[in-house]
C-alpha cells in the first residue's frame, strides 16, 4: 500500500448510489416496487437533484431500475439475459483489441455448446427433435443465401439451448452467439462450407434424437472446433 497516496473524495452521487443499492439488496425495495421520488431522496440524503439523478441513472445502466419520465424509478426483475446484455459493449471492446481473448471466447463457446448438446440429448422430446430437423431443412433450402443460412444456423443453436429448459443456459447461449457474430468472416461462402455445416448439424440432431449424450457432445465438439476457425478479430480501421 502506498502510504503517501492521496485520499480521494467520493462524489455525492456515488454515496447516493451505494445507499440505494443497499436498499435494493436488503429487500427494502423488491422487484416491481418504486423507489422514493427524487424530492424525497433529496430530503433523506440531504443532497441536490443532480446527485440523485446521476445515482438513479447509474442504477438504470446496470439494469437494476427502469426510469420513466414522470413515473419515477422502478426496481426491475433481474434476469441472466439483462445482466449479460449490460456488458455487451465491454465484451466487444475486449475482443476487438485482442486476438487471444477472441480465441479464449471461441474455446469457451466450444465447451459450452458441447455441454448443451449433451443435455439436449438427455432431455429432448420428439417435438424438440422435429423442430431441430425443421431448422436444418430451412438451412438447406437457403444455402445459396448466406444471410438467411446464417440466421437459421444461429436458430439451430438457440433451439438446442432451449431444450435444456434452463434460462441461464439460454441467456449465455444468446450472448455468445451475439458476441461472436461480429467476428464471423464469412468462410462459409467458400465452396462446400454450407454442405459441411449441414452434415454436421444433421449428425448432431441424429445423436440428440437417439438420446446419445456422449455422441451428441462429440458431434458438437467436432462442429465447433471446425467452426472456431471461421472467426477472427476485426481489422483495424
User: What DSSP string runs through 115-165?
Assistant: HHHHHHHHH--HHHHHHHHHHHHHHHHTTT-HHHHHHHHHHHHHHHHHHTT
Looking at the structure, tell me whether residues 119 and 226 fall in a common domain. yes
Per-residue confidence (pLDDT) for residue 150, from 0 to 100: 85
- Residue that is last in its domain, among 39, 62, 77: 77
- For 189, the domain range is 83-230
- Residue that is last in its domain, among 27, 47, 77: 77
pLDDT band at residue 102, thresholds of 50, 70 and 90?
A: confident
pLDDT tens digit string along 172-182? 888 888 877 77
Per-residue confidence (pLDDT) for residue 235, from 0 to 100: 45
Residue 107 has pLDDT above 70, yes or no: yes
Nearest CA among 61, 81, 88 for reference residue 73 = 61
pTM: 0.66
Per-residue confidence (pLDDT) for residue 236, from 0 to 100: 43
Looking at the structure, tell me whether residues 100 and 144 fall in a common domain. yes
Looking at the structure, tell me whether residues 168 and 88 fall in a common domain. yes
Amino acid at each position: 500500500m502506498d502510504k503517501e497516496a492521496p485520499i480521494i473524495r467520493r462524489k455525492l452521487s456515488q454515496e447516493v448510489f451505494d445507499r440505494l443499492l443497499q436498499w435494493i439488496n436488503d429487500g427494502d425495495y423488491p422487484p416491481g416496487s418504486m423507489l422514493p421520488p427524487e424530492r424525497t431522496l433529496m430530503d433523506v440524503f440531504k443532497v441536490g437533484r443532480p446527485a440523485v439523478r446521476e445515482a438513479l441513472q447509474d442504477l438504470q445502466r446496470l439494469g437494476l431500475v427502469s426510469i420513466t419520465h414522470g413515473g419515477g424509478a422502478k426496481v426491475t426483475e433481474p434476469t441472466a439475459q439483462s445482466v449479460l446484455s449490460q456488458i455487451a459493449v465491454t465484451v466487444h471492446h475486449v475482443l476487438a483489441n485482442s486476438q487471444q481473448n477472441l480465441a479464449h471466447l471461441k474455446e469457451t463457446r466450444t465447451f459450452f455448446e458441447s455441454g448443451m448438446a449433451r443435455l439436449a440429448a438427455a432431455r429432448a422430446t420428439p417435438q424438440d427433435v422435429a423442430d431441430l430437423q425443421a431448422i436444418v431443412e430451412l438451412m438447406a433450402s437457403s444455402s445459396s443465401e448466406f444471410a438467411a443460412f446464417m440466421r437459421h444456423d444461429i436458430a439451430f443453436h438457440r433451439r438446442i439451448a432451449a431444450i435444456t429448459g434452463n434460462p441461464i443456459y439460454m441467456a449465455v447461449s444468446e450472448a455468445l452467439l451475439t458476441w461472436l457474430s461480429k467476428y464471423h468472416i464469412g468462410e462459409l461462402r467458400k465452396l462446400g462450407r454450407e454442405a459441411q455445416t449441414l452434415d454436421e448439424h444433421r449428425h448432431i440432431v441424429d445423436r440428440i434424437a437417439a438420446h446419445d449424450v456422449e455422441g451428441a457432445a462429440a458431434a458438437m465438439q467436432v462442429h465447433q472446433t471446425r467452426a472456431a476457425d471461421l472467426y477472427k478479430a476485426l481489422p483495424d480501421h
